[in-house]
Structure 1
Amino acid sequence: MSEEKNDTVQTEKKIEIKLPTAEQLIEAGVHFGHKMSRWNPKMEPYIFGAKNAVHIIDLAKTLTKLKEAVDFVTDIVAKGGLIILIGTKPPVKKIIKEAAQSVGMPYVNRRWIGGALTNFKTIGKRLEYFRDLEKKMAEGELKKYTKKEQLGFQRKLEEMEKIFGGIKNLTKLPEAIFAADLKENQLAVKEAKKSGVKVIAIADTNISPELVDFLIPANDDAASSVKIIVDTIVEAIKEAKNH
Structure 2
Amino acid sequence: MKRRYWNIRLEELVAAGVHLGHLIKKWNPRMAPYILISPKHKGRHITNLTRTARFLSEACHLVFYAASRGKRLLIVGTKKETANYVVRAAIKARCHYVNKKWLGGMLTNWPTTETTLRKLRDLRTEQKTGRLRRLPKRDAAILKRQLSHLQKYFRGMQYMTGLPDIVIIVDQHDGFTALRECITLGIPTIGLIDTDCDPDLVDLPIPANDDSSRSIRFILNKLVFAICEGRSSSTSSIRNP
Stretches of structure 1 that go unaligned for 5 or more consecutive residues are 1-11
* Cα shift readout 1:118-176 (whole Å, capped 9, x = no counterpart): 11111111111111221122123445422322222222211111121111111100001
* In 2: Cα distance, 1:137 partner to 1:93 partner: 26
The alignment's TM-score, normalised by the length of structure 2, stands at: 0.91
Partner of 2:189, secondary structure, is: strand
Map of 1:3 onto structure 2: none
Map of 2:80 onto structure 1: 90
- Greater percentage in helix: 2
* Cα shift readout 1:163-197 (whole Å, capped 9, x = no counterpart): 21111111100001111111221111010011121
* In 2: Cα distance, 1:142 partner to 1:154 partner: 8
Q: 2:195 aligns with which of 202, 205, 208?
A: 205
* In 1: Cα distance, 2:62 partner to 2:94 partner: 18
Q: 1:184 aligns with which of 152, 159, 174?
A: 174
**Alignment pair present for 1:100 and 2:90:** yes
* Cα shift readout 1:88-136 (whole Å, capped 9, x = no counterpart): 1122111101111112211111111210111111111111111122112
What number of residue pairs does the alignment pair up?
231
- Equivalent pair of 1:17/1:235 in contact (CA under 8 Å): no
Stretches of structure 2 that go unaligned for 5 or more consecutive residues are 234-241
Partner of 1:202, secondary structure, is: strand
Q: 1:138 aligns with which of 119, 128, 142?
A: 128
**Alignment pair present for 1:163 and 2:153:** yes
Q: 1:110 aligns with which of 100, 103, 125?
A: 100
Map of 2:163 onto structure 1: 173
Partner of 2:181, secondary structure, is: helix
Map of 1:214 onto structure 2: 204
* In 2: Cα distance, 1:240 partner to 1:52 partner: 40
Q: 1:39 aligns with which of 15, 27, 30?
A: 27
The aligned amino acid for 1:29 is G
* In 2: Cα distance, 1:133 partner to 1:91 partner: 29
The alignment's TM-score, normalised by the length of structure 1, stands at: 0.90
- Equivalent pair of 2:170/2:192 in contact (CA under 8 Å): yes
Partner of 1:178, secondary structure, is: strand
Map of 2:137 onto structure 1: 147
* In 2: Cα distance, 1:66 partner to 1:80 partner: 21
* Cα shift readout 1:62-111 (whole Å, capped 9, x = no counterpart): 00001111111111111111111111112211110111111221111111
* In 2: Cα distance, 1:27 partner to 1:70 partner: 20
* In 2: Cα distance, 1:234 partner to 1:17 partner: 15
* In 2: Cα distance, 1:55 partner to 1:180 partner: 20
> In 2 relative to 1, CA 184–19 (structure 1 residues): closer, same or farther, beyond 3 Å?
farther
The aligned amino acid for 1:220 is D
- Equivalent pair of 2:164/2:187 in contact (CA under 8 Å): yes
* In 1: Cα distance, 2:57 partner to 2:28 partner: 24
- Equivalent pair of 2:6/2:57 in contact (CA under 8 Å): no
Partner of 2:21, secondary structure, is: strand
